Amino acid sequence: MSVLTTTALAETYATVRRRSLQLSAPLTPEDMMVQSCADASPAKWHLAHTTWFFETFILREFVRGYRPFHPDFVWLFNSYYNAVSAQPEKKLRASFSRPSAAEILAYRQAVDALVDEFLAGDIPGDARDRVILGLNHEQQHQELLLTDIKHAFWSNPLHPAYVPGSFAEDTPAIPSCWVDFPGGLVEIGHDGSSFCFDNETPRHKVFLEPFRLAARPVSCSEYLDFIEDGGYSRPELWLSEGWATVKSEGWDAPLYWRREAGSGGWQVFTLHGFTPLEGLGSSPVCHISYFEADAYARWAGHRLPAEAEWEIAAAGAGKPSGNLLETENLHPAPGANASQLEQLFGDVWEWTASAYLPYPGFAPLPGALGEYNGKFMCNQMVLRGGSVATPASHIRASYRNFFPPATRWQFSGVRLAER
């Protein structure tokens, strides 16, 4: 999201807020209550929490005499900002039958009306920065809304589709090639020309040995070869914690894969419902953990890229474009030309070999907003590139996503690297 005029900021605010409602439109009030795993939140909560962000960090702090919409919402819809208030345990969010979905929509409308009025005036620079942060925050929750409802519908024994749809006839995956990079002393991190999160700064120098990246992400059919070669039963391929997780969770395939009764073939659950794996064989494999990505790379005789390697490659790819949220495909698609680097943006978040740690000289935002990223810099791994659920205006080469290494409910995949 680039530097915006006041008018453009108001228009962008309306566009982003409207997109959240569009994404929730296919859902019933009952759907919006479901929280099917510890990582997820109900859709209703996403709509409320993103509104809470603007009420808490804009209206409460910059609008004189502002009266909160509801006195309990400041803590009820707080996620993890301890400097603001206490908050309910995340696992309890599905128990919030009240306020109703209708009340939450009324909350959104009331806050939007006041933010619109605020944006029509002469707003201070720090408030403007917070509005832009809030819009990027909401775009993150738009992606989470989709990944969370996908898990909820997969957990439902009826396996409903989020939206109807089908996939084009699959074609054989184009053999991937390697793209060489010279390494050397490079700079990574945000260049300061537009919005970024604090964890993308400061820009700094890193030395890289020469390296190669696979032209495209690993496909479903390639990952199936790993499964059929006993990948999930070979401890020598796995990190110790990964192997323990495989055994304790009973993993034998990516999340959302199942064997079809009778034929023994694989099916994959998507936001359009179940579809045969053979129809998706050339599309990037998704919903795998860092542990699975690392084991696959070891099985294939390669490795995962470092995040600095990934960023240097992506920085030369131009403006982010690809199979992102705006395509409305809602599932990774096959690449078009594996003779050059492609699909860096969209389709799947790509696991890297890098732990989520602060850059040299990192400083979090002041106040409660400093809790946004910095306090999670422990026991997490970095992913890059965005997915089919990521808005195009939200992603960039320096963007750092992060999750614990066993996480699978995101659209996460793997691209190989080697020296």
Structural domains in the chain, CATH included, are 6-155 (1.20.120), 178-418 (3.90.1580.10)
**What is the radius of gyration, based on Cα positions, of the chain?**
22
**pLDDT category, 260, cuts 50, 70, 90?**
confident
| Predicted TM-score of the model (pTM) | 0.95
Instruction: Name the pairing type of β-strands 349-355 and 412-413.
Output: parallel
Q: How distant is the alpha carbon of residue 296 from its chain centre?
A: 21
Helix (H) or strand (E) holding 360: none
Averaged pLDDT, 245-252 = 98
Q: Which tops the pLDDT comparison, 78 or 263?
A: 78
Residue whose token pair is 């914690």: 241
Q: How far apart are CA 94 and CA 366, in angstroms?
A: 32
**pLDDT category, 338, cuts 50, 70, 90?**
low
Q: Note the pLDDT tens digit of each residue in 3-57.
A: 577 789 999 999 999 999 999 999 999 999 999 999 999 999 999 999 999 999 9
Residue whose token pair is 């199979």: 323
Please tell me the predicted confidence (pLDDT) of residue 1: 46
Q: How far apart are CA 271 and CA 365, in angstroms?
A: 36
Q: How far apart are CA 311 and CA 189, in angstroms?
A: 8
Q: 3-class DSSP state for residue 290?
A: helix
Tokens encoding 199: 């964890």
Q: How far apart are CA 92 and CA 167, in angstroms?
A: 36
Averaged pLDDT, 143-171 = 93
The residues pairing with 259 across neighbouring beta strands, listed in sequence order, are 266
Tokens encoding 296: 């696959």
Q: How distant is the alpha carbon of residue 416 from its chain centre?
A: 20
Average pLDDT, the chain: 95
Q: How far apart are CA 396 and CA 58, in angstroms?
A: 26
Please tell me the predicted confidence (pLDDT) of residue 181: 97
